[in-house]
Homo-oligomer: A and B are copies of this chain.
């Protein structure tokens, strides 16, 4: 379904090339003044270097009175001024490689060939707005993510990369021990971001090659530890150290060079796909990673 969270619950809507995208946020406490400039700044980060440059002007439909929350659901929408469904006309009967065209078709029996419907980076705009509101409700928590990526790449190809995230200000004792471990919920939040393909806490995959004596984070007398191989979570619960994780993103699967598409009638067709392409989407991922981390934590901390 299109809802994230339990206590702080975000329901998103909107197709990439439909009239609007947006969300309803349920569970936001009353009496909080929302910093609209912070939301605009986050949306600007999300547009960094994007081929589709939209204004992202937010229309608030409910939940605010003079910019202050009143405890009722916060609804907003952002119009899709830059929708160009015609760019996609050539794809009406083709499945692009690496895209969700085929899997959506197999699930729904139809597809919105115009820009991928919900399976589009456009959908993350609602996550960023909601996540930035969540951050404002937890001012003691600081979430900082940054991206690495291969810097050399031909014009008609694309690159992936990784995003490191470090969260401070989460007290010890946050999380649950069994299935909804804090690390498990962070993993799900991150893997729900388009193009995410890997997740690791702290030492991550490298820990699989360590010995226990090397891996164990040694205590300081104040309850902090000298290293942070576990990434700040033990047994599914925060230990008060920074929460650290890394997310791998595969390269953008839309590119300017010719690609082999599968036609619905079963033959393969090499086409150059129109529309706006982007070399390196991972540049825009940090603010999305931070937003999803905030949405995840809000369910524990509010």
- Chain A residues within CB distance 8 Å of chain B: 1-4, 9, 11-15, 18-22, 24, 26-27, 30-31, 60-63, 65, 70-75, 77, 95, 97-100, 102-104, 106-110, 112, 116-119, 123, 149-150, 153-154, 157-162, 171-181, 183-192, 194, 196-205, 207-219, 221-223, 225, 229-231, 233-240, 248-253, 255, 257, 259-262, 266-268, 282
Contacts and interface: CB of A to CB of B under 8 A. Distances in A.
Among A71, A223, A249, A267: residue with most chain B CB under 10 A = A71
A230 B119 contact: no
Copies of this chain present in the complex amount to 4
A219 B262 contact: yes
Contacts of A24: 2, 11, 13, 24
Contacts of A259: 216
A103 B1 contact: no
Nearest to A222: B266
A162 to B, nearest CB: 5
A191 B197 contact: no
A72 B15 contact: yes
Given A24-B13, A212-B253, A202 B207 contact: no
Nearest first, the 8 A-B pairs at minimum CB distance are A100-B235, A106-B173, A158-B212, A198-B200, A103-B237, A212-B251, A188-B188, A106-B172
Nearest to A252: B212
Nearest to A204: B198
A118 B201 CA distance: 21
A169 to B, nearest CB: 15
Given A99-B234, A212-B251, A239 B106 contact: yes
Nearest to A123: B178
A234 B238 CA distance: 32
A100 B251 CA distance: 37
Nearest to A31: B110
A107 B132 CA distance: 26
A26 B11 contact: yes
Given A62-B13, A62-B19, A192 B181 contact: yes
Contacts of A216: 97-98, 253, 259
